[in-house]
Amino acid sequence: MKSKVIDFLAVFEKENIEKSFPLDYCLPVYHCVSDENLPHLNHIINYKNVKQFENDLDFFSKYFQFVNWEEFKDYFRGNFKAKKKIALLTFDDGFREFYDIVAPILERKGIYAINFVNPAFIDNKDLMFRCKTSLIVDSIKKSTTKNTGISLEKVLKINYQNKSKLNQIAEKLEIDFGKYLKEQKPYLDSDQLKELTTKGFGISAHSWDHPLYCEMSLEDQIRNTVKSLNYIKENKFLDDSFAFPFTDFGVKKDFFEGLFKIEPLSYSFGCAGIKTDSFNKNLQRIPMETGESASQTLRKEIAYFKFKKLLNKNTIIRK
């Protein structure tokens, strides 16, 4: 029902995006860009191909001014004047394609981006549990027997707390995650991260190993976050920002107050679309891997924001 309402309202969003966009800043978020079939992602992320991504960038450039991290912060301090509303491009999870595909495109177009990474996976030491899920689903769907005795529905429901089950299932299906990591190298390595930094891109924290925060205790939320930020500091990356893995839905005010008290962060980031937040240093990003173009995604987001505003529900309230 919600999607039908948004689709209907988006039809009427025909004016200039720069004028109708309700915030002064736009925060698109991607994970990966590739023309290839990536088994560790293709059942969990609807990533864009190169042409689609470049079309998105051209659309954003028409209505927004892309900025780097320092310009972004200076804008809010009143020390940077932009010609248009600003956009800060972000990526999550530190996949290798950011180095191989995305960075060359951004360098050619003169666009900055931050990649929020999970230190547990850097140098391909391990595979995020949802990527393991995707590999298992891919294997089951490609199985010639089809009678694996394993429910796809149950596999897709395995969460962070029960992620060890994925290793057990993989062993039964003779899937070797270690071999996959060694051969495919899905994640960035340390040298690539440093080179990206040298080229001017931002590398920042995205938790240690990508849990869903609302399923953890406050103590574990803080511990996981600080551990990832310590890695960022040790490697002299961008240490005054943090992006939630999955979503910040259900994260309470205590977390933000506690984290910002012990860490000198400028901003943290969720991905709830065009919304404001009662904790004003937590900014919401717009997920761009929806199967639609940037134009379609933004028009729907704008329409939904206007609708929620009528109900006084377009601000996330932290309690």
Q: Please give the model's pTM, rounded to 2 decimal places.
A: 0.95
CB 269 within 8 A of CB 244: yes
In sequence order, what are the beta bridge partners of 25?
A: 86
How far is Cα 5 from Cα 1, in angstroms, rounded to an integer?
6
CA dihedral 207, 209, 211, 216 (to 10 degrees): -80
Q: In the chain, what are the domain boundaries?
A: 2-125+188-316, 128-185
Residue 12 has a pLDDT of 63
Per-residue model confidence as pLDDT tens digits over 251-297: 999 999 999 999 999 999 999 999 999 999 999 999 999 999 999 99
DSSP run (H or E) holding 87? strand 85-87
Nearest to 240 by CA among 87, 99, 114: 114
Is 306 strand, coil or helix? Answer: helix
Using CA atoms, how far residue 307 sits from 247, 284, 303, 310, in Å, is 22, 17, 6, 5
In sequence order, what are the beta bridge partners of 113?
A: 89
CB 98 within 8 A of CB 199: no
Q: Which two tokens stand for residue 231?
A: 């890695």
How far is Cα 41 from Cα 45, in angstroms, rounded to an integer?
6
CB 165 within 8 A of CB 129: no
Residue 286's CB is within 10 A of a number of other CB atoms, namely: 21
Per CATH, the number for 2-125+188-316 is 3.20.20.370
Nearest to 210 by CA among 135, 132, 262: 132
Q: Which two tokens stand for residue 261?
A: 């008290």
Which residues of the chain are modeled with pLDDT < 70?
Answer: 1-15, 144-148
> How many alpha carbons fall within 13 Å on the CB side of residue 87?
25
Looking at the chain, the whole-number percentage of residues with pLDDT higher than 90 is 91
Evaluated on CA atoms 121, 125, 129, 133, the torsion sign reads: positive
Evaluated on CA atoms 122, 126, 132, 138, the torsion sign reads: positive
How far is Cα 290 from Cα 301, in angstroms, rounded to an integer?
12
Residue 115 has a pLDDT of 99
Residue 149 has a pLDDT of 79
Is 283 strand, coil or helix? Answer: strand
Q: Which two tokens stand for residue 51?
A: 């042409």
Nearest to 162 by CA among 137, 199, 133, 134: 133
For the chain, the helix, strand and coil percentages under 3-state DSSP, each to the nearest 5: 45, 15, 40
Residue 98 has a pLDDT of 99
Residue 181's CB is within 10 A of a number of other CB atoms, namely: 19
Residue 294 has a pLDDT of 97
Residue 314 has a pLDDT of 93
CB 173 within 8 A of CB 139: yes
**Helix residue ranges per DSSP H, 185-283:** 190-198, 218-234, 253-262
